[in-house]
Amino acid sequence: MRAAVFSPDAKFRLEELTLPAPQAHEAVVAVEACGICGSDRQLVHHGDAPSGTRFPAVLGHEIAGAIVALGRTQEGRNPEPWRVGDKVLVYPFVGCGACRLCQAGLPQLCPSQQVIGYHRWGGFADQVLVPMGSLLPRPASASAAAAALLVDAFATPFHAMRQVRCAPGERVLVCGAGGLGTAALYLAKAMNAGAVGLLSRRPEGLAELPTGLADEGWTWSDTSRKAGREIRRWAQGGVDVVIDTTGSAELVEFALDVLRPGGRIALVGMQPEEVRLPLAKTVRRGVTLSASYGSTMEDIRQLLKLVDAGQLNPESLVGATYALADIDTAFAAPVGGGRTVMVP
């Protein structure tokens, strides 16, 4: 198979690799689309690799494709309800399966987890070998490029929004106009939020946004309190839920200040910064801070229901698409609100 192999010194190079034969409970998936996640860009541009990443690596963890081979038991039977030709999505977190977190359905928090695309070969290739337990049915109504984004670009903010119990009718503020932030805006609409606002550090983040996706938008500056006053007025005293996709300490501190008493903030973005937390003020206001990482299989199943019901259209998040041979161009291209997708 062809693969875009990455190492910190040589960067990307196209190589012919031999994929191992699938063992029992494994499947080979022909990759039809694989999204470029922000964590992929962090690794390629800044060297920020998840702990345990094995180089040279085949990156890519937002995978949609079709099964081309299945492992067999010693009796020659397929141990899972999958067939060659099935259109599938690939859940990227592979837990140990035995710890309390895995047993609770939280493999993304497993201390021994592996992530497809970092600890195992990923989807910037013609094919990928994955556990059958990582497979999910692909929605027939979505293209491969759009469906691939459900497993992370949509699933990560969706997990956060479920974790803070984002309810219909509430006022939701999304911080960050990148791929995760844009996905969170679409999800807030799909989950029947009462009003949806966007706070962006970049003026172009607001300009690039599809018309009508956010009810209101603000550009944040640490030298102005105007945005805070306007947001509190818009939210009729304070925001119910904030979804922060930036990981910026300054924006998190700002978001805490515009929450209503009893409001909730979900922290999704990751940066090596420290947040100053005024304990007495935070406690008196009964504010909830919830750190959210990755997603679960159940999150993606619920997303698939939203797609099937016509409440969520993942095509809306697809930005530029690139062939595998153009992967250097894909990583060099400017990042907007849409997700860049590799289509091998």
Query: What would the pLDDT profile of 267-299 be if each residue is shown by its tens digit?
Result: 999 888 888 888 999 999 999 999 999 999 999
Q: What is the mean pLDDT of residues 231-241?
A: 95
Task: Spell out a b/e string for 134-151, using b for 16 or more CB atoms within 10 Å of the CB, else e.
Answer: bbbebbeebbbbbbbbbb
List, in order of start, the domains of the chain with CATH numbers.
2-152+295-342 (3.90.180.10), 155-291 (3.40.50.720)
The rounded distance, in Å, linking the Cα atoms of 197 and 105 is 32
> What percent of the chain lies above the pLDDT cut of 90?
82
pLDDT computed for residue 198 by the predictor: 95
Interior/surface letters 32-57, b for 16+ CB within 10 angstroms, e for the rest: bbbbbbbbbeebbeeeebeeebeebb
pLDDT of 74 above 80? no
- Asked whether residue 222 carries a pLDDT value surpassing 80, the answer given is no
pLDDT tens track for 133-179: 999 999 999 999 999 999 999 999 999 999 999 999 999 999 999 88
d(CA 174, CA 180): 10
pLDDT greater than 70 at residue 320 = yes
Element (H, E) at 196: strand 195-200
Eight-class DSSP state of 241: E
Greatest Cα pair distance, the chain, in angstroms, is 69
CA nearest 302: which of 184, 136, 178, 183?
A: 136
For 5-25, give the secondary structure using H, E and C: EEECCCEEEEEECCCCCCCCC
Q: Would you state the pLDDT for residue 226?
A: 83
Closest to 159 in 3D by CA, of 296, 23, 27, 1:
296
Q: What does the pLDDT read at residue 203? A: 81
pLDDT at 331: 96
Mean pLDDT to the nearest integer, 230-253: 94
Q: Residue 162: what pLDDT? A: 97
- Give the integer Cα–Cα distance in Å for 285 and 227: 21
Instruction: Name the H helices within 164-240.
Output: 179-190, 203-207, 226-234
pLDDT for position 79: 57
**Mean pLDDT to the nearest integer, 182-209:** 91
Global pTM reads 0.94
309 vs 335, more confident? 309
Read off the pLDDT band of 76 (50, 70, 90). Answer: low
259 pLDDT tier (thresholds 50, 70, 90): very high
Q: Which of 153, 246, 262, 166 is nearest to 198 (CA)?
A: 246
Q: What is the rounded average pLDDT for all residues in the chain? A: 93
